[in-house]
């Protein structure tokens, strides 16, 4: 069974539903990306992925290519 990793990024310049859709489109269909959760109110993008197929750096680069400036999110309470 493949290992799954969850990473979060803060995307301070994500300001509207259009931004959310642009980020979702940039990540959809990427090999190894299992799930994408985007919270506009907290400006967080959470991605579950298989690290044997894609690296976190590649995911971050895709968000950047969509025109945003993602930063690794600090852990939230309980992580």
pLDDT digits (tens, 9 = 90+) for 47-64: 999 999 999 999 999 999
Residue 31 CA, chain-centre distance (Å), reads 14
pLDDT digits (tens, 9 = 90+) for 3-49: 899 999 999 999 999 999 999 999 999 999 999 999 999 999 999 99
According to CATH, the topology of domain 5-72 is: Alpha-Beta Plaits (3.30.70)
Burial environment of residue 57 by CB neighbours within 10 A (0 to 12, 13 to 18, 19 or more): exposed
Could you tell me how many residues make up the chain?
79
How many angstroms separate the CA atoms of 14 and 41, rounded? 9
| Domain definitions of the chain by residue range | 5-72
Joined together, the tokens standing for residue 67 give: 């025109």
pTM: 0.89
């Amino acid at each position: 069974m493949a290992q799954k990793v969850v990473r979060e990024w803060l995307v301070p310049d994500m300001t509207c539903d259009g931004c959310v859709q642009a980020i979702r489109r940039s990540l959809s269909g990427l090999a190894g990306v299992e799930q994408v959760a985007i919270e506009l109110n907290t400006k967080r993008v959470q991605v579950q992925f298989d690290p044997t197929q894609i690296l976190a750096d590649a995911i971050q680069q895709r968000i950047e290519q969509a025109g945003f400036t993602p930063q690794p999110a600090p852990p939230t309470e309980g992580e």
